[in-house]
């Protein structure tokens, strides 16, 4: 039986301009320790929110896969949705040495005796939690094959624990995310991304998460760095989008970029600009260096700084004069 016994209106729950008649089922109990911590600065995007809510409402035997470039908001979205619906979460971040048993459970020595400790997948299936598998495309596809049955709605059978059978709770959901779409990394930007089995990917709905629109990123920066003048926040977002267009090859440039400004880096730039506003040289430049440039190749560093200088104009010296 489902535990989802309370309706949350979209408008107040996700801070969206939507009639109060649109509601989403969630849980009355807000005390479960597995409910993620709510980030009140999180800004929901209508499209991706619609996609995750319709999945949570009616998964219809599918998993949900968020794909996109780094720092675009793939991981935080399901956690923040869960935080607002009081939906407990079990999660795991995949890596090349991940084994299926890491998700299901293993025998461990506890206080001198061997005990079977259930893994996050087994707990999520038993208790009706969301299971979030981060960076799924980093895992060995052979290990992921063990998930086929589960994604198809079959019970989890734990052979290593005497054949224990766990039937999926009605509120169990499977969400994964990765930088690729499951067919390997054709860009050469991501180390360790594997090509996933096509039959495995067939079990997912796939949603692309691009960097947010200017409007949304301005709302995010307003929350994260409200003390930064609006004009500077606008110029930061404009700079980020110029960098992104070069990164994806949309704009021609003498120096193609293999690094971009993620929403994560943009937020960092805004916050650090306030910290370094009184730096002896430009606080904006100093913060940009720590946020992004220090990781870039020397020519790309110069190219990115020039983009920022062009966008900011006289404002580039803001850190010194204020």
Q: Which residue in the shown chain puts its C-beta closest to ligand ATP?
A: 73
Minimum CB–partner distance for residue 221 and Mg ion (Å): 20
Closest CA to 68 of 197, 204, 181, 217: 181
Bridge partners, residue 8, by sequence: 24
Minimum CB–partner distance for residue 133 and ligand ATP (Å): 12
Minimum CB–partner distance for residue 264 and ligand ATP (Å): 4
Residue 263 in contact with Mg ion, rule: CB under 5 A: no
Query: Residue 15 or residue 320: which is nearer to ligand ATP going by CB?
Result: 15
The rounded distance, in Å, linking the Cα atoms of 16 and 240 is: 25
The rounded distance, in Å, linking the Cα atoms of 215 and 221 is: 10
Minimum CB–partner distance for residue 270 and Mg ion (Å): 20
- Around Cβ 187, how many Cβ atoms within 10 Å? 14
Q: Which residue of 3, 13, 48, 75 would you call a contact of Mg ion, by CB under 5 A? A: 75
Q: What is the greatest pairwise CA distance in the chain?
A: 70
Select the binding partner of residue 76 from ligand ATP, Mg ion, none (C-beta < 5 to 8 A, by kind): ligand ATP
Minimum CB–partner distance for residue 106 and ligand ATP (Å): 26
What residues make contact with ligand ATP under the rule CB under 6 A? Answer: 41-43, 68, 70-76, 177, 179, 212, 220, 263-264, 267
Structure-token pair, residue 255: 């120096």
Minimum CB–partner distance for residue 319 and Mg ion (Å): 31
Closest CA to 59 of 203, 199, 167: 203
Query: Residue 34 or residue 264: which is nearer to ligand ATP going by CB?
Result: 264
Strand extents, DSSP E, 34-184 = 63-67, 89-93, 105-110, 113-118, 130-134, 156-158, 164-166, 173-178
Structure-token pair, residue 9: 């209106």
DSSP conformational letter for 209 = -
Select the binding partner of residue 63 from ligand ATP, Mg ion, none (C-beta < 5 to 8 A, by kind): none
**Separation of first and last alpha carbons in the chain:** 60
Select the binding partner of residue 121 from ligand ATP, Mg ion, none (C-beta < 5 to 8 A, by kind): none
Query: Residue 263 or residue 291: which is nearer to Mg ion going by CB?
Result: 263
Stretch that binds Mg ion, among 20-28, 72-80, 203-211, 237-245 (CB under 5 A): 72-80
DSSP 19-51: -TT-EEEE-S----TTSPPP-TT----HHHHHH
Minimum CB–partner distance for residue 220 and ligand ATP (Å): 4
The rounded distance, in Å, linking the Cα atoms of 161 and 249 is: 51
Select the binding partner of residue 42 from Mg ion, ligand ATP, none (C-beta < 5 to 8 A, by kind): ligand ATP
Query: Residue 132 or residue 284: which is nearer to Mg ion going by CB?
Result: 132
Binding site for Mg ion (CB under 5 A): 75
């Amino acid at each position: 039986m489902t535990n989802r016994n309370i309706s949350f209106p979209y408008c107040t729950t996700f801070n969206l301009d939507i009639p109060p008649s649109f509601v989403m089922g969630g849980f009355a109990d807000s005390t479960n320790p597995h409910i993620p911590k709510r980030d009140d600065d999180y800004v929901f995007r209508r499209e991706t929110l619609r996609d995750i809510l319709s999945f949570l409402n009616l998964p219809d035997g599918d998993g949900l896969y968020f794909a996109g470039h780094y720092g675009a908001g793939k991981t935080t979205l399901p956690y923040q949705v869960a935080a607002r619906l009081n939906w407990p979460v079990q999660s795991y971040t995949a890596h090349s040495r991940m084994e299926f048993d890491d998700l299901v459970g293993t025998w461990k020595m506890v206080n001198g005796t061997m005990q079977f400790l259930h893994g996050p997948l087994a707990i999520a299936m038993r208790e009706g939690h969301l299971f979030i598998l981060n960076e799924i495309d980093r895992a060995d596809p052979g290990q992921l094959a063990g998930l086929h049955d589960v994604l198809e709605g079959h019970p989890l059978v734990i052979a290593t624990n005497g054949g224990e059978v766990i039937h999926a709770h009605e509120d169990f959901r499977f969400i994964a995310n990765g930088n690729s779409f499951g067919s390997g990394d054709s860009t050469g930007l991501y180390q360790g991304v594997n090509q996933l089995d096509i039959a495995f990917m067939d079990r997912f709905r796939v949603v692309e998460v691009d960097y947010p629109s200017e409007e949304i990123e301005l709302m995010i920066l307003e929350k994260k760095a409200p003390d930064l003048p609006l004009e500077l926040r606008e110029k930061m977002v404009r700079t980020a989008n110029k960098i992104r267009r070069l990164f994806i090859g949309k704009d021609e440039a003498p120096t193609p970029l293999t690094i971009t400004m993620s929403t994560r880096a943009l937020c960092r730039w805004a916050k650090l600009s306030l910290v370094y506003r009184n730096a002896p040289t430009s606080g904006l430049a100093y913060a940009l260096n720590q946020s992004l440039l220090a990781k870039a190749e020397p020519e790309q560093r110069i190219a990115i700084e020039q983009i920022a200088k062009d966008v900011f104009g006289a404002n580039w010296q803001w850190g010194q004069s204020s």
